Amino acid sequence: MGGPSHDSSDFFTDKSAKIFVAGHRGLVGSAIVRKLQSFGFTNLVLRSHSELDLTRQSDVDSFFAAEKPQFVILAAAKVGGIHANNTYPADFIAINLQIQTNVIDSSFRHGVKKLLFLGSSCIYPKLAPQPIPENALLTGPLEPTNEWYAIAKISGIKMCQAYRIQYNWDAISGMPTNLYGPNDNFHPENSHVLPALMRRFHEAKVNQANEVVVWGTGSPLREFLHVDDLADAVVFLMEKYSGLEHLNVGSGKEVTIKELAELVKEVVGFEGELVWDTSKPDGTPRKLMDSSKLLGLGWTPKISLKDGLVDTYKWYVENVVKQ
């Protein structure tokens, strides 16, 4: 029990099996729904927040009693940037713990065959070795700016492990790296670096600005994974993996912030100058996840950063700009 299995769930054998994708409207959940539909799955159970509040235990239990899904993919979470985590720490720890606990426990008690819980790379210590292996978990202090969210996600991993150990129930966890793609958050104040750059270059192009100023030197290294690649990995894990340990899900490819900014500038078609404000801080010099265990099982990402940026920019123009 607890070791990897390569014939775990026969996930692909019944395309009419009932699958509950929690959080189907978000960046991750929407990509998982698209991927499952592309594979021919026909019985997806989807509920918006207004239809089912996952923080309410009795509502979640009633939903599982009525629907009885065979598989659950838990992509629902309260997420946000540094400012949001600092401002609403109670929300980030309480809401995420409530969602996870309710969905995981109800899944087990109502006969779900397999559950996949999705977390985040922020579960790892602030000073984790680079690239970050799975066994770096709980080896040091967390990044203080998002520890409330991280503690909740770590609890989700441990809950899946505990139910596997105590009940021999097939609950697994995947920890994605930095994600981007359709349905990302392009908010001017609280979006992540990639959508923030895309928005700024687009607005500079539209306003015919001469330059875009970006903080720092551009030297920090980051890893990005297109959300459609994550969705592909999710389906792979549902079919192929039934281990105790959580698995990292990353591209394994690093890019400097400078390279990223220049690529986004090119994709957007901004003709002006890119200026680096070196008086501003750079942040962590390197953040890369070690995804060798997942890659060793036979999964590989398929979308290059350039192709992924083109796809994301097309979505941004059609869905954010035109609103």
Question: In 3D, which of 148, 146, 285, 275 has the Cα closest to residue 204?
Answer: 275
88, 124, 149, 167: the catalytic one is 149
Q: What is the DSSP letter of 212?
A: E
Q: What is the DSSP letter of 174?
A: E
Q: Where are the beta strands (DSSP E) in the chain?
A: 19-22, 44-45, 71-74, 114-118, 170-176, 178-180, 211-215, 221-226, 247-249, 254-256, 273-277, 286-287
φ, ψ of residue 298 to 5 degrees: the values are: 115, 5
d(C-alpha 102, C-alpha 86), whole Å? 25
Mark out the alpha helices in 247-304 (DSSP H runs). 257-268, 292-296
Contact 199, 316 (CB under 8 A): yes
Q: Is 149 a catalytic residue?
A: yes
Q: How many CA atoms lie within 13 A of 70 on its CB side?
A: 14
d(C-alpha 51, C-alpha 48), whole Å? 5
Q: Which amino acid is at 73?
A: I
Q: Are strands 221-226 and 254-256 parallel, antiparallel or unpaired?
A: antiparallel
Give the residue numbers annotated as catalytic, written as ranges: 149
